């Protein structure tokens, strides 16, 4: 091995042994919780496919905060929709998204149906919700790479600040008690 390759290998080995990033605390999840899945209008999933979901109340708080901050000023639902989708890692930092092309599916579920996609030992509980099994950990499942933190929450792809706690939920578990579907534009208009 040449000197340059040896130095690169040592740097890589050191990076692999580096301590994991410090994660912020996660929100406790009540026994029964309403979650939301945002997806393009025509998107579907199979019964056993894990969806990426967030708590509905937190999603509504983000949408309200963005509206109050001037993102998506009156008549500009595209800017507000884009900001919400960036906060969830669903579109890139330079994107412009039409909220009419997105839907929000709401589900009332038990926290036992959820898992947290994050680093750690599968099954270990974090704030009342277990860490996902390996087959549900896919960091690219539903989000842009820059939003993945490995901490059980997302990072806004535009601002790089912490966003919402994120969970995985299988469709078959989500629809057990029914669901409600709204256009994203309607949620942003406060009529959800």
Better-scored residue on pLDDT, 140 or 132: 132
What the block records as the tokens of 16 is 């692999």
Hey, is 150 helix, strand or coil? coil
Residue 184 phi/psi, 5° resolution? Answer: -55, -40
Separation of alpha carbons 66 and 85, rounded Å = 11
Residue 140 clears pLDDT 70, i.e. is over it: no
List, in order, residues 6 or more apart from 62 with CB less than 8 Å away. 84, 87, 163, 164
Do 88 and 38 contact (CB within 8 A), yes or no?
Answer: yes
CB-count exposure of residue 22 (10 Å: 0-12, 13-18, 19+): exposed
> Residue ranges per domain, the chain?
32-41+48-188
pLDDT digits (tens, 9 = 90+) for 75-132: 477 888 899 999 998 888 888 888 889 999 999 999 999 999 888 888 898 999 999 9
Q: How confident is the model at residue 191 (pLDDT cuts 50, 70, 90)?
A: low
């Amino acid at each position: 091995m040449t000197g340059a390759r040896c130095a690169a290998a040592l740097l890589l080995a050191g990076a692999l042994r580096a301590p994991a990033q410090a994660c912020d605390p996660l929100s406790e999840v009540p026994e029964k919780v309403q979650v939301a899945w945002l997806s393009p209008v025509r998107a579907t999933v199979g019964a056993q496919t894990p969806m990426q979901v967030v708590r509905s109340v937190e999603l509504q708080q983000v949408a309200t905060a963005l509206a109050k901050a001037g993102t998506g000023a009156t008549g500009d639902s595209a800017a507000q929709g884009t900001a919400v989708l960036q906060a969830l890692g669903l579109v890139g930092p330079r994107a412009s998204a039409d909220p009419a092309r997105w839907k929000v599916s709401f589900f009332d579920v038990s926290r036992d149906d959820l898992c947290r996609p994050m680093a750690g030992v599968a099954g270990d509980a974090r704030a009342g919700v277990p860490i996902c099994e390996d087959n549900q950990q896919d960091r690219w499942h539903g989000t842009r790479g820059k939003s993945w933190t490995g901490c059980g929450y997302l990072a806004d792809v535009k601002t790089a600040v912490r966003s919402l706690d994120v969970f995985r939920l299988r469709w078959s578990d989500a629809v057990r008690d029914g669901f409600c579907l709204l256009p994203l534009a309607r949620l942003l208009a406060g009529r959800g």
